[in-house]
Amino acid sequence: YTFWTFVVGGTLVWLSMYGVNQAQVQRYVACRTEKQAKLALLINQLGLFLIVFSAAGCGIIMFTIYVDCDPLLAGR
């Protein structure tokens, strides 16, 4: 993995998820005004960031707990 792979690939994933995904487009079209559509997107983003950062936090916590747990080095 490289920085540019992350930037280009991540950008394409996010564009496909929020630009052309049928569920997202229906959410935007169902709003009466553009302001409501932007608010719907913001609320969705906040929820998504909460989930992503919670998962990353859990991963970091698990790493700190099991950093010295290597069954191959322990001979198991």
Sign of CA dihedral 23, 29, 30, 32: positive
Please, how many CA atoms are within 13 Å of residue 37, restricted to the half-sphere of its CB? 14
For residues 24 and 74, the model is more confident at 24
Place 19 in a pLDDT band, splitting at 50, 70 and 90.
Answer: confident
3-state secondary structure of 67: coil
The angle that helices 22-30 and 3-19 make with each other, rounded to 10 degrees, is: 50
Can you tell me the mean pLDDT for 9-38?
90
Query: Over the stretch 25-64, which tens digit does the pLDDT of each residue have?
Result: 898 899 999 999 999 989 988 998 999 899 999 999 999 9
The reported pLDDT for the residue numbered 75 is: 75
Nearest Cα to Cα of residue 41 among 56, 55, 20, 25: 25
